Structure 1
């Protein structure tokens, strides 16, 4: 996998989560309005992550990092096999989002262990944010 492909796949995954949370916002509007703010916050977080990765792609930020040497042995493909989610209920949406957040956490954690310096810090921060998203989703699930 080439670095640009990796970044494009991450952008796609972040966009899928953003879309999932916007759908969650719509579901919540009709089914449980107290959850709307949660989904809006989650969507804004995923949008921020997407923009961060887009800046990496545009600026070639990863071109001279150790990640290039490891891409083929990282086994990152499982993180990108999530198909488009089409949940029929808010409960199904939250469960799907939990799986995707776990995948995002694992991916960012793995990347943070490979790169150095500021990029390591960014990937560590993003992995921790994915954990917070999962925690928020668990709280939402308990309110359903």
Structure 2
């Protein structure tokens, strides 16, 4: 896998998470209005992640970094193999989102350990946010 492909796949995954949380917002509007704000907040953070990754891709930020040396050994599956989700209920959506948030957390954690300085910090921050998303979703799921 090439660096551009990795970033494009990460952007796709973040966009899928964004769409999933926006759908969660819609489900919540009709089923559990008290959860709308939770899904809005998570969706906004996923959108910010996507924009960060798009910036990295367009600016070539990760070129000439240590990530290039590790691309083949990162063991990115299953983190990059998630397909488009089509949940039919809020419960299904939350379970799917939990899996994807875990995948994003694991991948960003790996990238944060490879990269130095501010890039490592960016991926560590994104990993932390993904972990918070999973925790919030777990609490929501337990409350259903």
Partner Cα separation in structure 2 for residue 77 and residue 99 of structure 1: 13
Indicate the residue corresponding to 1:64 in structure 2: 64
* Structure 1 vs Structure 2 CA RMSD: 0.7
Counterpart in the other structure of 1:104: 104
Matched position secondary structure for 1:55: helix
After TM superposition, list the pairs within 5 Å mapping 1:75-94 onto structure 2.
75-94=75-94
Tell me the TM-score normalized by structure 1: 0.98
CA displacement at 1:73 relative to structure 2: 1.4
Runs of 4+ in structure 1 displaced over 3 angstroms?
A: none
Q: Deviations over 1:40-77 (max 9, x none)?
A: 11110100000000110011000010111110111213
Q: Which runs of 5+ in 2 are unaligned?
A: none
- Structure 1 residue 142: deviation in Å? 2.2
Q: TM-score normalised to the size of structure 2? A: 0.98
The count of corresponding residues between Structure 1 and Structure 2 is 144
